[in-house]
Chains A and B, each alone.
Chain A
Amino acid sequence: MKELIRTDKLSKYYGKNGSIKAVDKLDLKVYEGETFGLLGPNGAGKTTIIRMLSGIISPSNGTASVNGFDIVKQDIEVKRITGLLAESPGLYDKLSAYEFLEFMGALYEVPENILKQRIDHYLKIFALDGRQDYLLEGFSRGMKQKVLIAAAMVHDPAIIFLDEPTSALDPRAALTVKHLLKELSEDAGKTIFVSSHILPIIEELCDRIGIINEGKLITVGTVEEILTQAEKPTLEEAFIAMTGGVDKKELLAWREQGNGSA
């Protein structure tokens, strides 16, 4: 299988003398048509990895290529062939859903006749076709998320980066996204790189999973491989064991030490 994303000791450091290691020497391969899931606690470096791979920020060290394009030297090509749904994306809330998708298509230079068809298609898929002329400021979080997912795909990219795609969605919308991602991967042959805290989504959708903690990739493999490696029955337990979580008993320990009530 063709390697579509390849990172080689990819690192991103912040602070004085690079004291904060947001991403540290990441070696990763993602193959064409694969749905790859990145799991990690808050602040683990997931968003930084996605931002580097989509050409928005430059690495401090190391290299990476996306579909053979170097993310630093050929960032324009990288941007052209990738779509991104950011974790907390900017939204032009004085534009209608249709206008926003039209704007995003124009940013990626999608020809006007194709763009109109594509916008109509995505508005229909996400059941937004009746709301297309309403300003985004009046949309619920879930509806905005649907528009943003459509915006990430409006230029038909080969690789789609999704940072927490279902976190703001209701179960029905989350299911729609899940089905859409499956279709994109299986039928349209898209490569999907998704980061999420919602483990069942990652477990169900992803061919392989990477777990990251404090900027370091701890493990990569299929769900079964990770469960075997962690010697745990569920992905949740494996994730907690690998990233270090709080024991349930510790959560309410303060009640036993004190009065137990306010």
Chain B
Amino acid sequence: MAVPKWLIIARNEYLISTSSIRKIRQIFPFLVIIFLGVYLGYIAPRIVDVLLDDFLLFFLSQTALTMIRLILFMFFLWFIIFPIANTLKFEHMDNKELLLSAPLKSSDLLMGKFLGQAPIYCIFITLITGFFTALLIPLGIDMLQVIIIVLAFVLILLSAEWIGILIASILRTRLEKSARGKDIGKALSMIIALPLIALMYAIIGGGLMDAVESSGTSTPVDNLLMMLPSTWGANIIMDFGLNPGDISSVWQDTIINFGGLAFFFIASLWIGSKLADRVYSLEAMGFSSSMVMRDGYFYKAIKKIGGGQSFGILLASAFKDYSRRYENLSKIIYIVSLMIMLKVFFGSDDAESPLDAVILLFFIFSLLAAFVVGEVTLRGKEALFIFKKAPSGEGKLIKTRLIMGLLIILPIGVLITLYSLIIIPQISIIMILGYTAVMIIVVMSNVASALGIAILNPVYNEKESMVNVMIMAMIVPQISLMSLIFLDDPWNIIIIIVTNCVLGALLLSLGTLKLKRME
């Protein structure tokens, strides 16, 4: 009997998802099962053991139902967003025509993709479910209740994965028709998670719990959440938690909620299969290509900043190439939004010193520098060779990128630093100006360090570039802030400035040397 087509696609998807661990692919499922077994049987109960008393109090509170609904909604959203964000990076672009030219139904393609990725998602589902069941078992829920909870999680999160894959495929088909569409997709993949992060921050540190508590049990949030399958799962958890070992007293609600989940899962699979033909298409949506205007005041000003003449043109060209990519702009939006959210949800108005108020900015500015100037190698080695071929081209590249990075990051850095300092009560103007000057030096050093790291470890695709981002965002600020452990004001500030400058100069020099030797 012929193997079903969706199974062939699913197997292929699985091989693609696990390509980075192909050496242990054969034993990977067993390793995962062992790990999950240890997690469910040992790690999760130990973790929740610490939280158990607080959890019991929380479970009996008025906010418990809404909070569990919100938490499940967050997971539901995350499982939808993840495949979308992943797909819109447009990393595996070449196989679509290959698949569509084969005798396959679109529904086979979609189902294969879903099933192929499902094992990886199931690992996350187990981790989440294991945590919840470990919390509920001490309350006295029986095995049948545990099984129903596990199945509810599987139905909720696999529905979300399916919806995510469906939306991702539709978006990809619509966006991949043009270079601008792809660019929009990449930008979207970066910022799509922001609402989820905002919700997460609001739950953890933003007083969402308090807001829910003070507004009573039937809030607009509750009413909105009632429409979602994640809420039906939360209802089951609450019913079982309040009636442990006694499923008979909530059997009607359980049937309604669980039946709703099963119906939702099957219905979404059916509707998705029917939509599959619209999901996969190679037909062009249009043949428009973007036209640019002749240089306006902005680019003329950039040329002037670059001293006019040849270097002015180089600087303006770098700006054009950078700013016309929505993906680049989305990274700046992502970082700035993250910074605002941290300030809003976790920020404290009563910072003890100006240094406390700006300490987080050391990490954020490093991240911003890594994103902005770290993309220097992402256009590929051949794009670097254009500079290498030109007389003194390496120096021109470094100078261009350095100035471009500073022009983009410095204004953002100054504004955010000023805001962070101004909100400190009774801070003097001198202090504000002094610390802003310190942060300007830090930002400038960060730009140099990020550029140096990007060239020292050149990566030519988005995925691998995250290594450089992590080095820049985690290691560089920690080195520069080391003096805080053993020095007091003002020596620690002086050491921070010196360390940043030395790091920036060193990494940039090494990067320049590497660029000259690059083959």
Contact = CB atoms under 8 A, between A and B. Distances in A.
Contact of A79 (B293, B309, B380, B389): B389
B310 A94 contact: no
A135 B289 contact: yes
B393 A79 contact: yes
Interface in B361-392: 379-392
A91 B383 contact: yes
Contacts of B385: 56, 86, 89-90
Interface residues of A, number: 38
B309 A84 contact: no
Interface in B287-336: 288-294, 309-314, 317, 320-322, 324-325
Given A80-B391, A96-B292, A106 B314 contact: yes
Contacts of A103: 313-314, 317
Given A102-B313, A134-B290, A94 B324 contact: yes
B310 A106 contact: yes
Nearest to B290: A135
Contacts of B180: 137
Nearest to A139: B289
Given A106-B311, A107-B387, A99 B382 contact: no
A220 interface: no
A104 B396 CA distance: 12
A79 B390 contact: yes
Contacts of A90: 379-386
Contacts, number: 105
Interface in A102-130: 102-110, 112
A173 interface: no
A100 B320 CA distance: 10
B283 interface: no
Nearest to A52: B519
A170 interface: no
Contact of B313 (A76, A88, A106): A106
B321 A76 contact: no
Contacts of B324: 94, 135
Contacts of A77: 391
Interface of A: 54-58, 76-77, 79-80, 84, 86, 88-96, 99-100, 102-110, 112, 133-135, 137-139
What 3 pairs across the A-B complex have the smallest Cβ distances? A138-B289, A90-B383, A90-B382
22 contacts: A57-B519, A79-B391, A79-B393, A89-B386, A90-B381, A91-B383, A92-B321, A93-B179, A95-B317, A102-B313, A104-B386, A107-B386, A107-B387, A108-B391, A112-B310, A112-B313, A133-B293, A134-B291, A135-B291, A138-B178, A138-B288, A139-B289
Given A105-B310, A109-B391, 16 more contacts: A55-B389, A56-B385, A89-B382, A89-B385, A92-B383, A94-B322, A99-B320, A102-B313, A102-B317, A105-B313, A106-B309, A107-B386, A110-B310, A133-B291, A135-B289, A138-B289
